Amino acid sequence: MNELPGVTRTLYGGQWMLKTAVDKRRVVEELLESETFRRAEQMKRLLRYLVEQEEAGRSHEVTEYELGVAALGRREDFSPETDSSVRTRLHGLRQRLEEHYAGREGWRLEVPKGSYRPVYVRVGEDKEVERGKWWGGAAVVAGVVVLLLAAWWGWPRESAMERLWRPVVGAGVKPVLLVGQPVHVWVRDIQGQAEEALDYPHFPDALPESEFFRRYWKPRMNEGARLVLHPSPNATLWGDAVGAAGAARFLGLRMVNSEMVPESALRSEVALKGKPVLAFGRPEYSLAIARYLRAAGGYEVGMVNELKRYAIYRGAERYVNERGANETNHGLVTVMRDGGARVMVFSGITSDGSAAGIEYLTEERMVGELWEKLRGEGYGDWPAVFQVVLKISSSNGYAMAARYEKHLVLQK
């Protein structure tokens, strides 16, 4: 079998692929100087960056965040979850490549869907190369070798983020977004109704002269209002709701449908068996989260009697809120397994912890930094059970930013 200089046979579509940097650059230069790309500066920057990373042998390490910042010039606070510009530019790049090569034979550059690695393939009848035939056992051996080499060099490897979320995204069943629900007491105006005619549980009037009442409720009252306190088990805290919504958005972008379940609607935890669960809330009002954290055996969230404050604690360790002009809060992320299925618990001293926790665990850069810490400790893959304590900057009860504080591996 004769071969072209700088060319090797691959499994990519049964084609031939360029293997030398010089020949690859010729293909890229022809592409960048073409009419298709002449005025598409962002597409050219993106393509150049992908080509450079392929030449450096690190295509499998490239992330969406990296492309946004390094190739497209986004700011360092760029978030792929809220900004789809990288995905949009990649889609546009693939379309321009198809447009440029339409009806042409010869060498071309392609960026396969689901990969950041450019490949160089020859399309059309190959007059210069005798294809030859593959016979008997030699064909089997050669095929195995090519497969192994392709797996090592050619196929994109999973990022730290992809490996972390694979048991949820690739589980084959709908992940459950379980939201804890504290009992709320709702101040309601019964106006002209007789109190005894109300068909829902209620208590006597609120305290109209208290400072708390004047601050929150008096401006909203109608003249002549008659108030009762109505307990409701169906409310959620804002941070828990924001966290669950963020998880649903993250999964939706990966074409994974999820099921949001308020804990009050969960008749038995048997319904969660075998399903990935993302739980949002605190043990104070969620029996499921209390059980998960006990089973993990690490940090817990609750009242610490000697401090007379809520805290994230383990043994003598304590993480508490620091109040001031810029309030500092703490959140707790727990990753574990329950009955063989992945469970992620997003909790904290307040519900800010839930919102900040899902933002942290879906941010490519932050997950990558956490993975580097674990890899530095000798881990070859994500541990079976681990926790991360987060330090959160909050404003008026809203999580504004979260950063890593500490991690704890509980099971390898």
Q: How far apart (Å, rounded) are the C-alpha atoms in residues 60 and 316? A: 42
Query: How far, rounded to the nearest angstrom, does the alpha carbon of residue 28 sit from its chain's CA centroid?
Result: 33
What average pLDDT does this structure show over 315-334? 82
Report d(CA 343, CA 301) in Å as an integer.
17
Of 100, 98, 74, residue with least CA distance to 85: 74
Kindly indicate the confidence band of residue 209, based on its pLDDT and cuts at 50, 70 and 90: low
**At 56, is the secondary structure helix, strand, or coil?**
coil
Q: Is the pLDDT of residue 213 over 90?
A: no
pLDDT in tens, 355-405: 999 999 998 888 999 999 999 999 999 999 999 999 988 776 677 788 899
* pLDDT over 90, % of the chain: 32
Instruction: Measure the CA–CA gap between 107 and 88, rounded to whole angstroms.
Output: 26
Q: Is the pLDDT of residue 288 over 90?
A: yes
> Per-residue confidence at 276, pLDDT binned at 50, 70, 90?
very high
The pLDDT score that the predictor gives to residue 253 is 81
Lowest mean pLDDT among 85-94, 267-276, 330-339: 267-276
Nearest to 385 by CA among 376, 398, 395, 374: 374
329 close to 335: Cβ distance less than 8 angstroms: no
Which pLDDT value is given to residue 121? 83
pLDDT at position 2: 38
Q: Check pLDDT > 90 for residue 59.
A: no
Query: 4 pLDDT exceeds 50?
Result: no
Residue 297 has pLDDT above 90, yes or no: yes
Q: What is the pLDDT of residues 148-159, one digit of tens each?
A: 554 444 445 678
pLDDT at res. 210: 67
Query: Where on the phi/psi map is residue 57: left (φ > 0), alpha (ψ -120 to 50), or beta?
Result: left
Q: Quick check: 119 and 12 in contact, CB under 8 A?
A: yes
CA 352 from centre of chain: 18
Give the pLDDT confidence of 238-254 residue by residue, as tens digits.
999 999 999 999 888 88
Distances (CA, A) of 361 to 345, 355, 366: 11, 10, 7
pLDDT at residue 398 in the model: 72
Query: pTM for the complete prediction?
Result: 0.61
CB-CB neighbours of 350 under 10 Å: 23
Tell me the average pLDDT of the chain: 80
Q: How confident is the model at residue 18 (pLDDT cuts 50, 70, 90)?
A: low
**How large a percentage of the chain has pLDDT more than 70?**
76
In this structure, of 53-67, 145-159, 323-337, the range with the lowest mean pLDDT score is: 145-159
Amino acid found at 190: I
**What pLDDT sits at residue 364?**
85
Which residues on neighbouring strands pair with residue 387, listed in sequence order? 334, 408
Q: What is the pLDDT of residue 134?
A: 36
pLDDT at 131: 39
Per-residue pLDDT at 143: 53
Predicted local confidence at residue 317, as pLDDT: 92
Residue that wins the pLDDT comparison between 175 and 219: 175
- pLDDT value at residue 8: 45
